[in-house]
Amino acid sequence: MNVSLHASSNRVLVVDTDAGQIDAYVACLGEDFEPDEAVETLTDLEKVLLGEDSDVDHNPRFEVHSRNQGDAAVEAVRYALEKRQPFSAVFLELDLPPGIDGIETAQQIRALDPNVNIVIVSGSPDANPENPGKKIPPADKVFFFRKPFHGVECRQLAAALCGKWHADTALRQANEDLERRVEERTAALQKIAYFDIVTRLPNQHLLIEELKNLIAAAEDAEGDTVVVLLDIDRFSFINETMGFDAGNELLRSVGNRLSRTFGEDSGGEQAIVGRFGADEFAVLLPDVNSDLEIPDFAAMVKETVEEPFLINGRDLFLKVAVGVAWHPVHGRDAKTVFRCAEAALHRSMRSIDHAITYYHSEMRYRARHRFSLEAELRGAIEGGEIVAHYQPQESTRTGKLEGVEALARWNRPDGSVVSSADFVPLSEEMGISDMLFESILRSVCKDLATWREEGEWNVPVSINLSAHQLRNRELVQLIKDVMNDAGIGEELINLELTETVLLEDLTIAQPLLDELASFGVGIHIDDFGTGYSSLSYLAQLPVRTLKIDQAFVAQLSEPDATTKLVEAIIALGKALDLEVIAEGVETNQQYAIIRRLGCDLVQGYFIARPMPAHQLRTWCGGYEDTQSLKRGSAVVDIEKARK
């Protein structure tokens, strides 16, 4: 609530049935009050408490109002609030016949104004000074004052309470201003993180979230949710021949036409239109009730974009590839459906005429491949075929190795390597993800024990947790047992969770993470910046580290709003006293920008690729020799980035 803080804001309400007592209040709080020599220091206290709300002689100024009944006092408080001139303090007689008594009056006043200081006044020797604080919370805004009182005591108490009210009001307004600025900054970051800066359409992150929402809404419906992805053929050629400004204008024109035809401006069934990639767009259509509608819709999307565009006075005729997949036929979750649509799009891009491709043959191949993997996966875990590879994390300040991330790899007997993106989700569907996590944890702890035997090793290793692990009540004990068996200290293990996984059920995650943190392991938030949520959870959880999503880092080679977003994430981490890691750093220029922005650690191919345990030790042996050369070249790129 905004209030007026002018010189007369030391407003005091006196409530007493005795007119003589009210006169006594007015006398001691009036401008003509003169303390005797024994209490001259009172004016100094008043000056400190009230600041400018005193006259040239440092006498405090009070605006005194009075009422002789409880009901009238309540109405006075209500009226003052309506006029935005609230009282700082209320001196309230405990006994107020014949109406409501002082306690009930105070309770009604407190209900109206939670910030006013209430002084319960009584001359009865039987009055209990503890009761008012219990009946009229909060305790720091209710006081007991016994009659008869000395004028100096009354004036001193009024000065103190008015000074306290001013301080509380200033702090409250400062907090409100801070919350407003945080909300505004968060909204700006959301805009940057989830909307494409060229077309102002939803970007890939927001499209995935939107599809999640559509799928959740479609669970009780009969219709399908269709995803159409399109890629503009030879878009890079347009950039090269007509310039990037013309390319951006074309992207905006494509986005606008798709939005007018299928989105909010279409007037019909509203689809969600967004920019999925550099030259890719997505159109999401819910509630498709017939398989015959899907080809018609996909054909309409293709025809819409292949109509000519007028760019810089020239007609541009585009050729687009189109891939189509839909829920629930091709996947039960958003990422799976998008992966299927991408697979179909790539098949369309490889075809000569860029024909619309529906995800079907790839689905059958994937089903056979999936069935084969399911038959092998359990045996691979038990047989030790799934091991940890390690990717180093380097300090941008010292150039030293400060951390390592463990990444699961499945080395099949035939020499082929299965991506973790295939077998980790598969393990969750098979119900053996806990077994897989334990296998990786034991592999990491075994490698740590070996490294410590070979020489001093104090670099922590990060292990990824999935959503399924957060629901395992035995997880904390499992981690403790495995680490104790290997003789590994808790300071050498960090656990990483993606922001999206973490926020799926914060009520489940928080007690588990609190217990893990109290045990001593570090908690890291992976892929930070992609979660579509409030940031308040950062203050609730025992998080040590934020990892900036590599999708943001990949765009740092181009000076755009992404750099500001990364800078904002780093600043947020610093403000919360969290360590910040940039993952996916692949170029010298990205390293230079990340270092200039003050990020603590970097991880990516620029530092090193993931490697087996024995190769990591060899790599560490030659690590120091490469630092001066690499960091020197990074300094050059930092200077370029500043220019």
What are the structure tokens assigned to 181, written together? 């600025």
Range with the lowest mean pLDDT among 11-20, 67-76, 231-240, 609-618?
231-240
- pLDDT for residue 643: 45
Residue 430 lies in a domain: yes
**Phi/psi at 147 (5° precision):** -95, 155
Please report, rounded to a whole number, the percentage of residues in the chain having pLDDT higher than 70. 85
Structure confidence at residue 396 as a pLDDT band (50, 70, 90):
very high
Residue written as token pair 């001193």: 156
The pLDDT of residue 394 = 95
- Write the secondary structure of 225-244 as one string of H (helix), E (strand) and C (coil): EEEEEEEECCHHHHHHHHCH
- Check whether residue 329 and residue 279 sit in a common domain: yes
pLDDT over 80 at 21, yes or no: yes
Domain check: are 621 and 551 in the same one?
yes
218 vs 49, residue with greater confidence:
218
Q: Are residues 209 and 263 in the same domain?
A: yes
Same domain, yes or no: 345 and 477 = no
d(CA 528, CA 571): 13
Task: State the average pLDDT over residues 586-605.
Answer: 93
What residues have CB less than 8 Å from 631, skipping those under 6 apart?
Answer: 399
Query: 637 and 555, same structural domain?
Result: yes
Q: From CA 545, how far away is CA 565, in angstroms rounded?
A: 17
Contact status, residue 620 vs residue 401, Cβ threshold 8 Å: yes
- CA dihedral in degrees (63, 68, 73, 76; nearest 10)? -50
The mean pLDDT of 141-151, rounded to a whole number, is 88
Q: Is the pLDDT of residue 400 over 70?
A: yes
Euclidean distance between the first and final Cα of the chain, in Å?
46
Q: What is the DSSP string of 547-585?
A: EE-HHHHTTTTS-SHHHHHHHHHHHHHHHTT-EEEEE--
465 backbone dihedrals φ, ψ, rounded to 5°: -110, 140
Residues 169 and 119 reside in one and the same domain:
yes
C-alpha span between 74 and 62 (Å, rounded): 20
pLDDT at 560 over 80: no
Q: State the CATH number of the domain containing residue 572.
A: 3.20.20.450
Say if residue 316 is in the same domain as residue 404: no
Helix (H) or strand (E) holding 125: none
Over residues 393-422, the mean pLDDT reads 88
Is the Cβ–Cβ distance between 556 and 566 less than 8 Å? yes
Of 77-91, 133-147, 178-192, 354-368, the least confident: 354-368
Tokens 């973790």 sit on residue: 420
Q: Is residue 41 pLDDT above 50, yes or no? A: no
Q: What is the predicted pLDDT for the residue at 7?
A: 40
Q: Give the integer Cα–Cα distance in Å for 326 and 323.
A: 10
Beta strand pairing call for 320-327 and 357-358: parallel
Poorest-pLDDT segment among 281-285, 439-443, 535-539 = 535-539
Q: Max Cα separation, the chain? A: 102
* Alpha-carbon torsion, ordered 234, 239, 241, 242, to 10 deg: 120
Residue 565 lies in a domain: yes
Which residues are CB-neighbours of 304 under 8 A, at least 6 positions away? 257, 258, 261, 262
- Considering the domain boundaries, does residue 304 fall inside one? yes
pLDDT confidence of residue 433 = 86
- Choose one of 342, 359, 376: the last residue of a domain: 359
Q: Is 181 a domain residue?
A: no
**Given 328, 359, 390, which residue is the final one in a domain?**
359
Give the whole-angstrom CA distance, residue 312 versus residue 30: 78
The reported pLDDT for the residue numbered 609 is 93
Q: How much is the pLDDT for 1?
A: 45
Beta sheet of 117-122, edge-to-edge order: 63-67, 11-15, 89-93, 117-122, 142-146
Task: Convert the pLDDT of each residue in 258-291 to its tens digit.
Answer: 999 998 655 556 899 999 988 999 999 998 887 7
For residue 294, the Cα-to-chain-centroid distance in whole angstroms is 37
79: Cα within 13 Å, side-chain hemisphere: 8
Region 143-168 average pLDDT:
90
Q: Is residue 5 part of a domain?
A: no
Q: Which residue has the tokens 């970097």?
A: 602
**Angstrom distance (rounded) from CA 633 to CA 588:** 8
- Is the residue at 323 inside a domain? yes
What's the rounded mean pLDDT across residues 37-65? 58
Q: How far apart are CA 525 and CA 542, in angstroms?
A: 10
Q: Of 153, 173, 193, which closes a domain?
A: 173
- The answer to whether 353 touches 321, Cβ cutoff 8 Å, is no
Are residues 64 and 128 part of one domain?
A: yes
Query: Is the same domain home to 411 and 526?
Result: yes
* The pLDDT of residue 67: 94
Please tell me the predicted confidence (pLDDT) of residue 5. 44
User: Do the bridges between strand 224-232 and strand 320-327 make them parallel or antiparallel, or are there none, so unpaired?
Assistant: antiparallel
* Domain span including residue 299: 204-359
Tell me the three-class secondary structure of 517-533, residue by residue.
HHHCCEEEEEEECCCCC
| Helix, strand, coil fractions of the chain, as percent rounded to 5 | 50, 20, 30
pLDDT(606) > 70: yes
Residues 354 and 388 reside in one and the same domain: no
Q: Would the pTM count as exceeding 0.85? A: no
Whole-number Å distance between alpha carbons of 252 and 266: 17
What is the overall mean pLDDT for the chain? 84
| pLDDT for 426 | 78
| Both structure tokens of 629 | 């050369």
CA distances (Å), origin 345, targets 180, 317, 357, 396: 44, 20, 7, 39
Is there a domain that residue 56 lies in? yes
Residues 14 and 66 sit within 8 Å (Cβ to Cβ):
yes
The Cα 100–Cα 121 span in angstroms is 15
Give the domain CATH number at 16: 3.40.50.2300
The total number of structural domains that make up the chain: 3
Residues in the chain: 643
Of 340, 471, 493, nearest to 403 by C-alpha is 493
pLDDT at site 375: 77
Arithmetic mean of pLDDT, 46-52:
52
- Per the model's pLDDT, the better-predicted residue between 2 and 501 turns out to be 501
User: Does 127 map to a domain?
Assistant: yes
Residue-level pLDDT at 132 = 65
Closest CA to 601 of 573, 628, 621, 624: 573
Compute the distance between CA of residue 594 and CA of residue 585 in angstroms, rounded to an integer. Answer: 9
**Are the CB atoms for 185 and 58 separated by under 8 Å?**
no
Question: Do residue 266 and residue 355 come from a single domain?
Answer: yes
- Reduce the DSSP state of residue 14 to 3 states and report it: strand
Q: 349 and 377: one domain?
A: no
